[in-house]
Amino acid sequence: ERHSQILPRRKLGRSRENIPSLKATPSFRISFIQTELPDYYAPWMNVAANLPHLIEGHQLRREVAKMPLLSTQYLRGHRQLRLARLALGFITMGYVWQGGGRQTVKILPRALAVPYCTISELLDLPPILVYADCVLANWKKRDPCGYVENLDILFSFPGGDSNKGFFLVSLLVEAAAAAGIKAIPIIVNAILHHGLCSLETALQDVALSICKMREAFKLIHVWERPCNCFLLHVFGTSWKDNFLMPEGLVYEGVWDSPKQFFGGSAAQSSTLQCFDVLLGIQHSAAQEYLGCMRDYMPAAHRAFIQTLASGPSLRQFVLATGDAGLHAAFNKCVSALADLRSYHIQIATKYITIPAGRCRAEQQQLGGCVHKGTSVLSERGTGGTGFMRFLKAIRDTTRKAQLTEQEATVPTH
């Protein structure tokens, strides 16, 4: 299935593009991945390619100290910028969290900070590894003619195939949403033109695509080992609202004062936020945080979601019609999204919460105290939230978005 690219064009500064009209965009992942940069950038690519080995040997910070300060002027086009940002983002997270929560740093060296911030500004993204980097842009095909069996990742952290599985399964979950994303412009058009039949069909497509996302999520069990997933969780941790780095991180040569940014998380998924906006789901307790997460999405993704949010209300339209078929189709979408979020909680419990608890117990059995950094990194999401509490709140709010029997029998005017 062809996947269109809906990513921001290269620009200077953080100026916003004009918000585009809604159009069919089969998924948010990058459709064609750049895998190589000009030889000039070999110092970046070599370090990023050997990241697991360098981190495990506690050699990454030493290697970064040897890196030259390179200019970004030889990067050509959006895809090279995205690849360079991806490599520098992985290096940055490895550099900061090489020692877990025990040996944090306060300064990101100039040779890493300056080009990373320059490229991030051009792409209108914050200088930290986000979901759009490590999931949407961190993949390639070994064989251009193959699909799932030929997928691989570009960069990783320690953890072997579990890392690969986490990133690729997340990518496949996003790809499974293609039909649902493609149905959104059809839904908006049906509302504007009172096309009840086409609206019901499009809603069925959305529900089915969300169900396919859940099925794709199940592939995580093929790849993951709980201990390795917990390790990956550590390397995705933010330096905002994090007592291990209370002031944040100084980007040497860019800002004199420390800056704080959230790490990558599923809350930055443009797909999930699109479905929330489409279905009129208001996560009151987490709305401010989710709104902030849009700043960690590519500019065109943010624009798409904003355009959808400023359009006609699907929920109110379905209620106004009094049509039983539309009510049922709408509720199937909500139910599928709630089920997906429940499954996410199960996965987080199995692969993060339980292993973290075992890690603390093992440390206590060995006669040592539990390091406070390990405890915090296990309890907080990569985006800086108390993640289990957050996931459950989001799931519960989604369930409450179902149209009730009373609403379904009393048309609004």
Pairing state of beta strands 250-251 and 107-108?
Answer: parallel
Residue 193, marked binder: no
Q: Are 3 and 141 in contact (CB under 8 A)?
A: no
Q: Residue 386: helix, strand or coil by DSSP?
A: strand
Task: Identify the bridge partners of residue 380 per DSSP, sorted by sequence position.
Answer: 386
d(C-alpha 178, C-alpha 3), whole Å:
8
Q: Are 170 and 139 in contact (CB under 8 A)?
A: no
Return the half-sphere exposure (C-beta side, CA atoms, 13 A cut-off) of residue 204: 8
d(C-alpha 142, C-alpha 135), whole Å:
17
DSSP 250: E
| Angular region, 13: left φ>0, alpha ψ -120 to 50, beta rest | left
Q: Which residues, at least 6 apart from 319, have a Cβ–Cβ distance to it below 8 Å?
A: 403, 407, 408, 411, 412
Q: Are 317 and 191 in contact (CB under 8 A)?
A: yes
Residue ranges for the known binding site for heme b are 344
Residue ranges for the known binding site are 344
